[in-house]
Amino acid sequence: ILKEELVGHDLIIALVVSTPVFYATELHNAMMGTGTDEDVLIQILCTLNNKQILSVIDAYESEFHNKLIDDIKGDTSGDFEDLLVEILHADRDEREVTDLNQAQTDYIRLYDAGVTLVGTDEKVFYDILCTRNYNQLRLIFQEYKFRLPRHDIEYAIEEEFSGYAKEGLLTIVAVAKNLSGYFAEKIHHCMHANDKKHEQLIRIIVPRSKTDVIVSIKQEYSKMYNKSLEFDVTEHTKGLFRKAILNLLN
Cβ distance 72 to 64 under 8 Å?
no
Burial of residue 61 (CB within 10 Å: 0-12, 13-18, 19+) is middle
Q: What domains, with CATH codes, occur in the chain?
A: 2-91+173-249 (1.10.220.10), 100-161 (1.10.220.10)
User: In 10 A of CB 142, how many CB atoms?
Assistant: 15
pLDDT tens across the length of the chain (250 residues)? 434 555 667 888 889 999 999 999 999 999 997 788 999 999 999 999 999 999 999 999 999 999 999 999 999 999 999 999 999 999 999 999 999 999 999 999 999 887 665 567 899 999 999 999 999 999 999 999 888 888 889 999 999 999 999 999 999 999 999 999 999 999 999 988 766 678 899 999 999 998 889 999 999 999 999 999 999 999 998 888 899 999 999 8
3-state secondary structure 123-180: HHHHHHHHHCCHHHHHHHHHHHHHHCCCCCHHHHHHHHCCHHHHHHHHHHHHHHHHHH
The pTM assigned to this predicted structure is: 0.93
